[in-house]
Amino acid sequence: MTARNPADLFSEALALPVSERAAFLDNACGGDAALRAEIESLLAALPAARKLFDGAPHLAADDGSSPDPALGLALGPWRLCERIATGGMGAVYRGERVDAAFRKQVAVKIISPWLDGADIVERFRRERQVLADLEHPHIARLLDGGATPDGRPYLVMEFVDGEPIDRYADEARLSVAERLRLFLTVCEAVQFAHRNLVIHRDLKPGNILVDRDGQVKLLDFGIAKVLGGESTADSNAASGPDLTMPAAMTPRYASPEQVLGHRVTTATDVYSLGVLLCELLSGASPYEMPTLMTPAAARVICESEPTRPSRVAARQDAAFAARREHSPARLAQALAGDLDNIVLKTLRKDPERRYASVDELAEDIRRHLDGLPVLAAPDRLSYRAGKFLRRHRSLTIATTATVALLATALVVSIGALRRAEMQTREAQQLAYVNSLAAAESALRENAVEEAAGRLEAAPAALRGWEWRHLEARLDRSLVTVRAHEQGITCVRYAPDSAAVFTSSLDGTIREWDATTGAARRTWGPLGESVESVAVAPDGTWLVAGLNDGRVVILDRAAVAAPVVLHEGSGWASVAVSPMAAGSPRRTVTDSCACGTRPRAS
C-alpha cells in the first residue's frame, strides 16, 4: 500500500469514535509498524493536551469521546448527518435535504469555532468565491453557502463518495499506464483552475478523490491563490497572496518557494503534482522528511535532491509491485528513464526550471504513453533513436544496416523539426505573455500609446480573453491634453472645425489645433471664471460670459483689446447671432437665471 501522510491519517483517526480507531489503523497502516506507532502516540497525547488547554472547544469536540454538537443541525435546506473529515480549518459533514422534497447528499464544510480571526474567515470566503467561479467536471461543485446561527461561514459542495487517489489506485490494482492516465485527469482539472487564474497550493491525495466510477474530483481550495485579483483583505490576510502559513500547507507536498515565503506561481502546483506522481508510481515520497513543518523538514525541501521514483520503487516488496502488475525489478525498470526525468523536472528547486505549465507536464506524460521522446529527457541522438527503434522493433529487425542508418537519420530530422516547432511555439507564447505583461505595466503607468503598441505586437492567433481585456482598457481618445489648471466650463468648435476653444474656471480661454491638440493662443486671465464662450460665424471674434456678469468681446487675432459688452448678473451661456458675420456689431444673446435677453454691441 502507498505510504500515507501521518498528518492525514491522524486527522482521519481523530474524527472516528475511539472504538473504531484500531480497525482503521489496521487497514490504513498495513504492516508499517513505525507509522502506526507514530499515529497512536499522537492519539495517546490528546488527554494530556486537553488538561493543558482545559476548556479548548476544538479538543473536546475532536477526541471522539463526546458527541458532535453539530450533528442534526439544519443549515438552510440541509441537515448535518455525519462528520466525514476534520481538517486544519474545520470539519466536513455529510448532509441531506431537510424537507425531503428530493433525495440528495452534499458535503458541508464548516469553519472551526475556535478559528474566528478575520484572516481565517476571509480565506474561507475566498474559497467559496473560487469554487463558485470554477465549473469543471473534475472539480467538486459549490452548491450553496451561508453562515451558521453562531456566525461561522459554511460551504455546501457536491458530495464525493470516493477514496484518495493513491488509495484508489492501490485498491483497484492499477498498472503504471493506468495510473498515468488517471493522473492526466488530475492535470486537466488543475490546468483548468490555472486558466481561471487560480493556484490550488495544497495538492495532495486527500484533496483528490476518485469515486466508484473512476471519476476524479479535486477538492479543498481553502488556501488557493487568485492571480492578479487579490483584494485588500486578501493581501492583509495571514496567508497573504504568496505566503502560505505552515499550519495551512502540507509539508510533504510543499514547494521550496512556499516554505521560503517567496512568490507563488502555477509552478508551485506543478511541484506538488510531481510529488503526487512519484507516490502514485513508486509508493513513497521522493524525500525522507519529518511529518510536521520543522526546520529539518524545510532544509530537506529546499536543499535535498529528490530520490528517483525508480530507486524508490526498487526498495518496495513483491506484493507492492504486484499491485502495479510488475515485479520489483520490472517496476523499477518501467519507471527508469522517462518517468524518472518527468518527476525530477517537476521537483526542481527553481520554479523557472520546472514545466512551464501543467499542460506541458501532461503533454510529456502523453508522449511517454505514446512512446515518443519527452521534453524532460536529455536531448541526445541515442535517446531519440532508441525510442524510435523500440516503437518499430519488427521493422528494425527486418531491415538492412543501410535502412537502419536511414531510419536513424530520419529520427534525427524529425526530432530536429519537432524541436524547432516546439521552440518556435514556445518563443511565440513567451513573446505573447511578455507583450501582455508590458501592456499591463504600461496601463498602470498611464502610458496608453505604449500599451496599445504592445498589444498590437501580440500575434493575432494567440489573442484570447486576456488580450481583449487589456485592449478594452485602452483610452480611445485621438488626442488628450491638459487644457487648464482648473475645471473646463465650455468647449466650442470653430466654424471651420480646424480649432477648438475652451473656457475655464481659472478665468482663461484657449484655442487648440483640433487635429494635433497643440495650443495656439490664450486670452486672460479675465479676472473671473469664464462660464461660457461662443464663436462668430466667420471665426474672427469670440464672445465670453463671465461669472461676475460681464460679457466680453475678444478679437481672435488678439490685435484689438477685449471689449466689455455688458455687465450684470452671472450668465449660464452666451451665443452669437448667425447674422453677426464680419463684425461684432450685431446681436449677442445671453441666458441667465431670469431668462434670455438680446444685447446690441
Are residues 506 and 447 part of one domain?
Answer: no
Provide the pairing of β-strand 551-555 with 595-600: unpaired
pLDDT tens for each residue of 91-108: 899 999 888 778 889 999
Closest CA to 243 of 232, 235, 231: 235
Residue 271 in this model has a pLDDT that exceeds 90: yes
Q: Do 110 and 21 fall within a single domain? A: yes
Q: Are 117 and 238 in contact (CB under 8 A)?
A: yes
One domain, residues 384 and 364: no
pLDDT-derived band at 88 (thresholds 50, 70, 90) equals low
With a cut of 70, say whether residue 519 has pLDDT above it: yes
- Res 539 pLDDT > 60: yes
Same domain, 347 and 385: no
Residue 253 confidence (pLDDT) above 70: yes
Is residue 390 very low, low, confident or very high in pLDDT (cuts 50, 70, 90)?
A: low
Q: What is the pLDDT of residue 341?
A: 94
Say which residue, 9 or 356, is predicted with more confidence. Answer: 356
Closest CA to 572 of 601, 545, 548, 544: 545
Judge whether residue 10 has pLDDT over 80: no
pLDDT at 232: 33
Among 47-51, 468-472, 535-539, the least confident range: 47-51
Torsion over CA: 208, 210, 214, 218 (sign): negative
154 and 184: one domain? no
Any idea which of 77-81, 451-455, 566-570 has the lowest mean pLDDT? 566-570
Give the full edge-to-edge strand order of the sheet including 551-555. 530-535, 541-546, 551-555, 563-566
Residues 388 and 338 in one domain: no
Q: Are residues 130 and 177 in the same domain?
A: no
Please give the backbone phi and psi of residue 353, each rounded to the nearest 5 degrees, phi first: -95, 0
Q: Cell numbers of 296, please?
A: 529539518
The answer to whether residues 31 and 95 belong to one domain is yes
Q: Tell me how far apart the alpha carbons of residues 180 and 361 are, in angstroms, rounded to a whole number.
A: 11
Query: Of the ranges 80-84, 399-403, 431-435, 572-576, which one carries the lowest mean pLDDT score?
Result: 399-403
H or E stretch covering 84: strand 78-86
542 and 466 in a common domain:
no
Domain limit, last residue, from 427, 452, 476: 476
Are 250 and 222 spatial neighbours (Cβ–Cβ below 8 Å)? no
Statement: the pTM of the whole predicted model exceeds 0.75: no
> Does the residue 349 lie in any domain?
yes
* C-alpha cell of residue 139: 472539480
Residue 117 has what pLDDT?
A: 63
Q: Does 266 map to a domain?
A: yes
Beta bridge partners of 566: 551
Residue 237 belongs to a domain? no
Does position 406 have pLDDT exceeding 90, yes or no? no
* 471 and 494 fall within a common domain: no
Q: Minimum mean pLDDT among 138-147, 457-466, 490-499, 561-570: which range? A: 561-570
Q: Which of 333, 368, 403 is the last residue of a domain?
A: 368
Q: What is the pLDDT of residue 281?
A: 92
Q: Which amino acid is at 562?
A: P
Q: Is residue 12 situated within a structural domain?
A: yes
H helices present in 370-462, as ranges: 381-391, 393-398, 401-444, 448-457
- 520489483: which residue's cell? 328
Burial 261-291 (b: 16+ CB within 10 A, else e): eeebbbbbbbbbbbbbbbbbbbbbbbbebeb
In a domain, 534, yes or no: yes
Question: Does 338 fall in a domain?
Answer: yes
Is residue 239 in a domain?
Answer: no
Going from the C-alpha of 96 to that of each of 71, 104, 453, the distances in angstroms are 12, 6, 56
Residue 64, domain extent? 6-158
Answer with the one of 326, 343, 368 that is the final residue of a domain.
Answer: 368
Q: So what's the pLDDT on residue 327?
A: 77
Residues 449 and 506 in one domain: no
Residues 62 and 105 occupy one common structural domain = yes
CATH number for the domain spanning 47: value is 3.30.200.20
Q: Which residues are catalytic?
A: 202
Number of domains comprising the chain: 4
Confidence of residue 53 (pLDDT cuts 50, 70, 90): very low
Q: Give the CATH number for residue 304.
A: 1.10.510.10
Is residue 536 assigned to a domain?
yes
